[in-house]
Amino acid sequence: MQLRDQDSEVFRILEAERRRQREGVELIPSENYVSEAVLEAMGTIFTNKYSEGYPGRRYYGGNEHVDEIERLAQTRAKQLFSVPHANVQPYSGSPANLAVYLATCQPGDIIMGQNLPDGGHLTHGWKVSATGTYYRSVPYHVKADGYIDVDEVWRLAREHRPRLIWCGATAYVREFPFEKFAEIAEEISAFFVADIAHIAGLVIAGAHKSPVPYAHVVTTTTHKTLRGPRGAMILVTQRGLDKDDELAERIDRAIFPGLQGGPHDHTTAAIAVALGEAMQPAFKEYGHRVVANSKALAGGLMKRGFKLVTNGTDNHMMLMDLTPGGPGRGVFMQEALDRVGITVNKNTIPGEPSSPFYPSGVRLGTPAATTRGMREQEMERIASWIALVAEEVEASKLPDDSKARSPAIKSFRQAIEQNRRLASLRNEVREFCLKFPVPGTT
């Protein structure tokens, strides 16, 4: 029986989400739209299977087809990234990163990663993450100009001699200096791990430098610029095997049985499909277009007087610094853009004067809009809408008194619900979006 007939409650919610995705502009840089083939693979009977272990070495019978699909995903990953070993089983980016710790460190070891408010990820040692609790985290920062402070990384690495150094981020708009991290790690004999969760698709397309010649291990999610299902991969490079010839086995053992149970075989099938798509010439073009669109959107915003961290971008994302209008304004901007159907996320900026919950910036990116076929002229139009929305938000300030903040945001929400200019912009955005189909939503 079809979902529509069997469970009308779930079907109704799904339809509402389908409408939201079709009728709005998605600018969250970590999101994308998968192809119909990826969606189809995810919705297959591979979800019925248990297959703890690895191809040819399973704890359950009946895995001959699962073995084939997992080997295919591994082969495609190794070929695409030019690495000797790929593990495609991590459930998502966070467990993939945790597995790297298990494979390379002992609890209590010193590790280094980019500070979270400076754009780094939770799993690179932030205090509330398991990685900041079980390991001794020494964070490095970005400079006032928004670029990674490589001198500080050198200084901290020599002083603390970490076992593991991360390079990779969740909100960083410039090219990563992988070669510098390799030199630093080499000098102190640390493991150097590149987390390319955000930029994997750009790396495949040649629109961002590859970390493979420099890092020992590379982790990535599969659902961002790579345009696959929600999942992750851990790649061991030749450099990694040269440092530790058991590194690949250690990584595999860290995923299973160290951290996970049975792999999600339907996801593995969909990862194989996404990797197959990423091997096509059209994907290279896609990666370059994502960056061209990102530069066009950044240019359109700066032309309209917005301040961007580092004054631009090298990749798929940009960070608006809204502090000229007062600290903590990211939340107002996110809410007002949501009202017109433009989805972004509030984000901290380097040297954040407010807090992660009430940050002073907004993070935007172009992977999803580019998948829909939008180009530079559409980015110009989106920049003009963002400027219009900003005018409506201009007078809103975050109260200094923390108790007054939540009520202030509540009344702001009511005000924008009734704002006629925003309501008319919402209709314009909807009409525009319907001209750019989202795969799997028609």
Ligand X SMILES: Cc1ncc(COP(=O)(O)O)c(C=O)c1O
Q: Can you give the binding site for ligand X, defined by CB under 6 A?
A: 30, 92-94, 97, 121, 123, 168-170, 195, 197-198, 221
Bridge partners of 54? 57
**Nearest residue to ligand X on Cβ basis:** 93
CB of 116 to ligand X, least distance (A): 11
List residues with catalytic annotation: 50, 52, 195, 221, 224, 230
Nearer to ligand X, 287 or 365 (CB): 365
Could you say which DSSP state residue 262 is in? S
What is the token pair recorded at 135?
A: 């390991």
CB of 233 to ligand X, least distance (A): 11
CB of 58 to ligand X, least distance (A): 25
Nearer to ligand X, 202 or 425 (CB): 202
What is the token pair recorded at 184?
A: 């630093």
Q: Which residues contact 101 (CB under 8 A, 6 or more apart)?
A: 111, 131, 134, 135, 164
Q: Output the CA–CA distances (angstroms, integers) from residue 124 to 71, 341, 352, in the order listed.
A: 29, 32, 19
Distance CA 350, CA 348 (A): 7
Nearer to ligand X, 93 or 117 (CB): 93
How far from chain centre, in Å, is Cα 30?
4
Q: What share of the chain is helix, strand, coil (3-state, %, to 5)?
A: 50, 15, 35
CB of 51 to ligand X, least distance (A): 21
Nearer to ligand X, 323 or 345 (CB): 345
Nearer to ligand X, 118 or 195 (CB): 195
CB of 219 to ligand X, least distance (A): 7
For residues 350 and 146, the answer to whether their CB atoms sit within 8 Å is: yes
Three-state helix/strand/coil letters over 366-390: CHHHHHCCCCHHHHHHHHHHHHHHH
Nearer to ligand X, 58 or 363 (CB): 363
CA dihedral 98, 104, 107, 111 (to 10 degrees): -80
CB of 118 to ligand X, least distance (A): 13
Distance CA 13, CA 29 (A): 24
Distance CA 202, CA 225 (A): 7
